[in-house]
Chains A and B, each alone.
Chain A
Amino acid sequence: MKSSLAEVFPKTHSGIEGLDEITGGGLPKGRPTLVCGSAGCGKTLMGVQFLVKGITDYDEPGVFISFEETTKDLTTNVQSLGFDLNKLIADKKLRIDNVHIEKTEIEETGEYDLEGLFIRLGYAIDQIGAKRVVLDTIESLFGGMDNATLLRSELKRLFQWLKDRGVTAIITGERGENSLTRQGLEEYVSDCVILLDFRVIDQIATRRLRIVKYRGSTHGTNEYPFLIDEFGISVLPITSLKLEHRTSSEILSYGFAGFDKLFKGKGFFRGNSTLVTGTAGTSKTILASYFALGSCQRKEKVLFFSFEESPDQLIRNMDSVGIRFKPFIKSGMLQIHSSRPSLSGLEMHLLVIHKLISQHKPKTVIIDPISSLITVGNNSEVRAMLVRLMDLLKVNQINAFFTALTHPYLDEHYDFTVDAVSSLADTWIQLSNNTSDSNRSRKLLIVKSRGMGHSNEINEFSISEKGIKLKQ
């Protein structure tokens, strides 16, 4: 059944990370797709990336017909994203034709058609054997010419012509007041329509993408956040809604022996997620660092997201309790990634995490603290993001370690962070400080650990320059 469906609706890889997952394989092969959105939402870039990746990753030459930017401007604009258009043009894999319409030098009299445009496009396609075409933004024609009725029928003919040529095309359109595009192009390009959106919520800019329609194919219907960074566009799909990831019964160490002992199996299952909660100064980061160290010692890569300390600061601080990170950083075993949580939206953080994970392929991921991410978004968003993150880690069998800061005067069960994360985490460890008389004692309690017997006592521990030590 599946294979016959694929034959009926063949798809072309979009070259945009994440988009193929939402569309179940890519854009409709040999048919035009309409990408619409307001100015500055990334339409042109999406088109360029579709062509460039088509050439570099799938060996499909492409033609870019630009109605707005000149070839030079376009080339310069996308250079910062690592796309070298000049080279692709020189290699005869890419052609850019700038259709420039100067209204002041044109007069219309009598009947005409857009055969000239067809010929130019056809010539460009034939020259390099193009399989992909981008028309950006064809609606500019309406600004340069008076006869809108004629233009409409010619565009309809153009889209049919593109289909007949069998090229996979992206046609961009400017967002209209009451319709998807100003000129209602969605009526003609009806196979696949993608809407891009750019908005600012709570002073944080987020880009979103939605598949408005995709004829003959199932597709994700949500709004998906997307990111434009130095590698182009990537879309963040919900990795999976089903709970069907593989589980492992391999047991790994938390990084220090005393702690492993608290668990019946002397450690944790591979792919486990651990949550450590506690108020300020309960040594959450130290536990996280041990976790990182344990992974490094197993020669398994670690990605450490530090949202409160810079890499240098973290290295120095951990040095003071006897955890030496430097050699592992040198060997590439440990990557510390620091950024301010408020710098970008929640989804952007998730996207960055997503990307770094796919780049570095770590076996262990630490997020310290996850609570600072949570302050960025609203509750339902946070929950959705955490589910996606957990999914991503589970699917890849990555050991996860999250710390969360709790409020000293608030019951942990009412704390939103804890509430959101604790049900998703497999193991939950609570840390607390007790001050009595002239003395402070550190306490540790394992609240839960799925599929693993564990200590039910409140364990006391101490921290010195030699490291962490559990009191027997």
Chain B
Amino acid sequence: MPKEMWELRLYIAGQTPKSVLALKNITKYCEEHLAGKYSIEIIDLLKSPQLAEGDQIFAIPTLVRKFPEPLRKIIGDLSNEEKVLVGLNIRPIKV
């Protein structure tokens, strides 16, 4: 059975406190709930501004769930774990 991979993208603009916090938060949630089956790509728009248009980014930081579809976006520093999990549609692993 093929392993279902979660493809996430985090858009930031430089190492701002909000961006750093967002990355810390999402890494933590992923390790908890999706260990071994996720990837996070970090895109710094200060370095590659041309990428903002494609994913319709206007707020920073923005987390985009590229896969599984449909596309979901969560904006903000991702400090509310429950909202992020609901937003990404990650079901906590049943114990």
Question: Taking beta carbons and an 8 Å cutoff, which residues of A are in contact with B?
Answer: 97, 99-102, 105-117, 119-120, 122-123, 141, 145
Contact = CB atoms under 8 A, between A and B. Distances in A.
B25 to A, nearest CB: 8
Given A105-B70, A107-B83, A112 B50 contact: no
Given A113-B60, A119-B49, 17 more contacts: A97-B53, A99-B58, A100-B56, A101-B56, A105-B70, A106-B75, A107-B87, A109-B87, A110-B76, A110-B77, A112-B77, A115-B45, A116-B45, A116-B57, A116-B58, A116-B59, A141-B58
B77 to A, nearest CB: 4
Contacts of B61: 112
A67 to B, nearest CB: 9
B49 A122 contact: yes
Given A119-B49, A122-B49, A123-B49, A114 B58 contact: yes
B83 A116 contact: no
Interface string B1-22: 0000000000101000010011
B46 interface: yes
A107 B60 contact: no
Interface residues of B, number: 33
Nearest to B59: A112
Contacts of B46: 119
B79 A110 contact: yes
A112 B75 contact: yes
A322 to B, nearest CB: 69
Contacts of B45: 115-116, 119
A105 B22 CA distance: 19
B15 to A, nearest CB: 13
Contact of A109 (B11, B58, B72, B78): B78
Interface in B37-79: 45-46, 49-50, 52-53, 56-62, 70-79
Contacts of A119: 13, 45-46, 49, 52, 60
B49 A120 contact: yes
A106 B49 contact: no
Contacts of B21: 110
B76 A101 contact: no
